[in-house]
Structure 1
Amino acid sequence: MPDRSAAVDEQAVLDELYGLRSDRFTAARTGHAARARQAGDRALAARITALRRPTLAAWASNQLVRAHPGQVEPILRLGEGLRRAHRELDGGRLRELTEQQRALVHALSVQARRLAAEAGQPLQEAAVQEVEQTLHAALADPDAAQQWAGGRLTRALAAAVDLTGATSRLTRPAGTEAPSPPARHRAGRRVGGAKSAVADQNRREREQRERQERITQARRQAETDAREAAARADDATTARQALYIAEADLTLAESDVERLTGELRRAEAVQRQARRGAGQRWQEADAVAQQARQRAADSAARAKEAGSS
């Protein structure tokens, strides 16, 4: 008989499975599927069995959402801002947001690397790049952002659209036709209508070319700004590394100064002690010499008295 009292919570199972290390996923999935079958829910057991084990990069991306849920909303807001700036061709805003994008993606990828290492699943460079690719996809595509925010990815994400949120095709969708001009009853009007239609078509094509040129120019500017932002970020990283090295060197130098200062103080103490000992020994020797001179003088005096007598 199925154990109805042991009903399995599907959402709880998903949360647990996609929070586990990838090397523990399969065994846990098998156990949950068996419990679902035991509870009589064969459909749930089949759905659990069909769940895909996440790649290492997907698992690390899920851990970011779970360990730092406060980072989800900034990513969603930044992605919307970037897409709006692209749509509005706002170069200044786009440059600002591109810098924020690079900084945030870098910071999150560092966190993902640290979380994975702490969990005993260190990320290789290829996996780190896939984590960054997933974050860029979440910034570019609102659907990808929602998938990432769910914390249940099975593979790295890739943006399906550009940051404008629209496809690149500018042609008319299949199955639609341009409206034909109304029929004219007189030859003169037909000629005039044809000329007007041609003029309208030329104007639309010209506007379309101009619009495409503006979009192309904006994208090129965005790429240039992104490269400049990347260069500045690399310079900042190099500067931070130099600072860390300088601070380490300073710490070592301060340690050497402290050690040498201690040695100097000990040497000075030994010197003072040696000087005090030498002074004391000189005084003792001088006293002994004075006593010897006194004894010699006394002996000479006694010898003189004896000779005179």
Structure 2
Amino acid sequence: MDLDAVVDELYRLAPGDFTAIRDERARTARADGDRQLAERIRRLRRPTLAAWASNLLVREQPEEAERLLRLGAALRQAHRDLDGEQLRELSARQHQLTFALSGQAGRLAAEAGQRISDEVRQEVQDTLHAVLADPETAAQWAEGQLTKPLRLPAGFPTPLPGPEQAPAPRRRTRPAKEVADLDAARARRQEQQARLDRARQQAADAERELHAREGELAAVEEEGRRAEAGEQQAEQRVGELSRRLQEARRDQRRARDAAREARDRSGEAERAVREARRRAEEATARVHKLTERQTNDP
């Protein structure tokens, strides 16, 4: 099993399928004896929905991704050259392209069975703006392995307006009711933006919490695997000791039988010795008696 192949497989999956497949691949690597690969796979993070859609765009639309990368290089060069005319032209293309690509990402996600909300599509578009701003961010995006959406680097200049944009009209005095309506609408937009910011923060917190819990789960699973391995080793040891005990008991029984048989043969031998001694003594006595009789006869 190869890590690059596993990474490529996982980051093509919808976020909902990521964790189960990742853990399955980690278990397979561990079963194959590659604990280091299993740990590296286990540490791969599940992408957010926006990150997955961004990855999908890179993988499914490589030509469009290349267009964005080339535009980013041109924009950064124009900023370095302080070329206002070039910046205005490229800025207009930037807005058009990032809007179009974020829409394509939404369509690709829907075709893959996962519709994304306007908020998620905006996160994709923010990621594309970040890609235009920074070459390292662009290289990271081009790998198609994002785990979270990207943000525009701090200090990056705001793109200049395109030439098709008309200058802002002079302000005119509005009636009090119109002003009040505008203030109310502005307040509603601010409240909506505040709710959106809170929702995004809650989503980010939930994502961090999920990653932390995934890490805890992986640690518990690893501890469980070690415990299972220890249990198997102990069972094998018990089985081996039980087998040896049974063999020792069989050897003990055979030794007892052999000792009993030896004692029986020893007893028989002793009895045979006593009988032989008795017969020898009787024969010796007869010899003496016959000898004395022969001596006493005239």
TM-score (norm 1): 0.51
**What secondary structure sits across from 2:66 in the alignment?**
helix
- Counterpart residue number, 1:80: 73
- Counterpart residue number, 2:101: 108
Q: CA separation in 2, counterparts of 1:159 and 1:126?
A: 16
Which of 165, 174, 183 in structure 2 is aligned with 1:228?
165
Contact 1:140 / 1:162 at 8 angstroms: preserved in 2? no
Report the number of matched residues.
167
Contact 2:26 / 2:39 at 8 angstroms: preserved in 1? yes
What amino acid maps onto 2:139 in structure 1?
Answer: Q
Consecutive unaligned residues of structure 1, counting only runs of 5 or more, are 1-7, 165-218, 232-309
Contact 1:57 / 1:131 at 8 angstroms: preserved in 2? yes
- Counterpart residue number, 1:128: 121
Note the C-alpha offset of 1:161: 4.8
Consecutive unaligned residues of structure 2, counting only runs of 5 or more, are 169-298
What amino acid maps onto 1:100 in structure 2?
Answer: R
What whole-Å deviation, never above 9, does each CA across 1:20-40 have from its counterpart, x for those lacking one? 000000110011101110111
Which of 4, 22, 35 in structure 2 is aligned with 1:11?
4
Note the C-alpha offset of 1:226: 8.5
Note the C-alpha offset of 1:72: 2.2
Change (3 A) 1:151 1:226: farther
What amino acid maps onto 1:25 in structure 2?
Answer: F
Pair 1:95-2:88 in alignment: yes
- Counterpart residue number, 1:63: 56
- Counterpart residue number, 2:246: none
Could you say which structure has the larger radius of gyration? 2
Contact 2:29 / 2:35 at 8 angstroms: preserved in 1? yes
- Counterpart residue number, 2:153: 160
- Counterpart residue number, 2:172: none
Pair 1:45-2:60 in alignment: no
Q: CA separation in 1, counterparts of 2:17 and 2:29?
A: 19
Q: CA separation in 1, counterparts of 2:142 and 2:163?
A: 25
Q: CA separation in 2, counterparts of 1:224 and 1:104?
A: 15
Note the C-alpha offset of 1:87: 1.3
What amino acid maps onto 1:228 in structure 2?
Answer: Q
Note the C-alpha offset of 1:88: 1.1
Q: CA separation in 2, counterparts of 1:228 and 1:40?
A: 63
What whole-Å deviation, never above 9, does each CA across 1:279-300 have from its counterpart, x for those lacking one? xxxxxxxxxxxxxxxxxxxxxx
What amino acid maps onto 1:87 in structure 2?
Answer: R
- Counterpart residue number, 1:25: 18
**What secondary structure sits across from 2:113 in the alignment?**
coil
- Counterpart residue number, 1:143: 136
**What secondary structure sits across from 1:228 in the alignment?**
coil
Contact 1:57 / 1:155 at 8 angstroms: preserved in 2? yes
**What secondary structure sits across from 1:120 in the alignment?**
coil
Q: CA separation in 2, counterparts of 1:227 and 1:148?
A: 30
What amino acid maps onto 2:132 in structure 1?
Answer: L
Contact 2:91 / 2:161 at 8 angstroms: preserved in 1? no
Contact 1:140 / 1:161 at 8 angstroms: preserved in 2? no
Note the C-alpha offset of 1:89: 1.0
Q: CA separation in 2, counterparts of 1:224 and 1:68?
A: 28
Note the C-alpha offset of 1:118: 1.1
Q: CA separation in 1, counterparts of 2:9 and 2:155?
A: 33
Pairs within 5 Å for 1:209-248: 222-225=159-162, 228=165
Q: CA separation in 2, counterparts of 1:29 and 1:9?
A: 13
Q: CA separation in 1, counterparts of 2:76 and 2:164?
A: 18
Note the C-alpha offset of 1:227: 9.3
Change (3 A) 1:11 1:227: farther
TM-score (norm 2): 0.53
